[in-house]
Structure 1
Amino acid sequence: MRGVLALAGVYNLAWGAWAVLLPERSFANSGMQRPDQPLHYPELWQCIGMIVGVYGVGYLIAASDPARHWPVVLVGFLGKFFGPVGLAYGVLTGRSSAEGLLTCVPNDLIWWAPFVLTLRHAYRSRGGRE
């Protein structure tokens, strides 16, 4: 659990930095239609990068004691769950490109099982039952 959360932290910090420093590139790689040429609102994508990076800091903190810092893991899981759900809705309604769903695999989907298992461990370590 500690290793997975540390890896998630480093990954999120790296992805967040990439989005902040190269907003036009990360916007294009997401499969999203750019609002204009050149990208006139890089701050929107940079803000997403900042949020992802802040999650990375939280995951690194949670890695020190996953059971104790389970709320950080829960908030992270919720973001990693609802992000793809929202994007899938956008694809189904024609407002988003299906290509963008590819970014959900490394950014979200691969973390679902480890985060759920970490939350399960935290629940059990606090005397919870199944």
Structure 2
Amino acid sequence: MIEAHLPRRRLHRAVFVAAGVYNIAWGLYAVADPQWLFRVSGMTPQNQPQIFMTLGMVLGLYGLLYLEVARRPEDGFAIAAVGLAGKLLGPIGWLGLYITGEWPLASGVILLTNDLIWWLPFGLYVRDAWPHWRRTLTRR
């Protein structure tokens, strides 16, 4: 049986290479300068910067997973779906911090490059990859 080709495969590969490189770079920077967001948004520096460093480590590891999606886009649905969920849930969590006054509006800068710009390309990939992933599940 001939496999159906993933729609927009080249676009998806490019998006996940970019996401992978971005996440690794962001993670490394967060580890090197864990107070940057607090400085940029005018918040009091953290007493425990290791928390932000850990966030950087986790997001950097996501970058490795995104590079795997770029390498094998036909098999990356689950990884991308988890990534997209995080990119949707992160802003919801930030909104709670903003509404309660714990974080200022300026801290929303973190949402622009970590979440919002990825919604469309990740959502498009998840939509395109879903039928292929579903077919692979039924063959097992």
TM-score by length of 2: 0.81
Q: Give the superposition deviation at 1:92.
A: 1.3
Q: Which residue of 2 aligns with 1:91?
A: 98
8 Å contact from structure 1 (residues 67, 119) kept in 2: no
Q: 1:25 aligns with which of 22, 32, 36?
A: 36
Q: 1:106 aligns with which of 94, 110, 113?
A: 113
Q: Is residue 123 of structure 1 aligned with residue 130 of structure 2?
A: yes
TM-score by length of 1: 0.87
Shift of the 89–3 alpha-carbon distance from structure 1 to 2, 3 Å rule, reads same
Query: 5 Å matches for 1:48-59?
Result: 48-59=55-66
Larger Rg: 2
Q: Which residue of 2 aligns with 1:12?
A: 23
Q: Which residue of 1 aligns with 2:85?
A: 78
* Structure 2 stretches lacking a partner, 5+ long: 1-11, 136-140
**1:2 partner amino acid:** R
Aligned residues: 124
**2:43 partner amino acid:** Q
Q: For 2:21 and 2:133, how far apart are their aligned partners in 1?
A: 28
* Structure 1 stretches lacking a partner, 5+ long: none
Q: Secondary structure at the match of 1:34?
A: coil
8 Å contact from structure 2 (residues 91, 115) kept in 1: yes
CA-based RMSD of the aligned residues comes to: 1.7
**1:81 partner amino acid:** L
Q: Secondary structure at the match of 1:23?
A: coil
8 Å contact from structure 1 (residues 67, 121) kept in 2: no
Q: Give the superposition deviation at 1:126.
A: 4.3
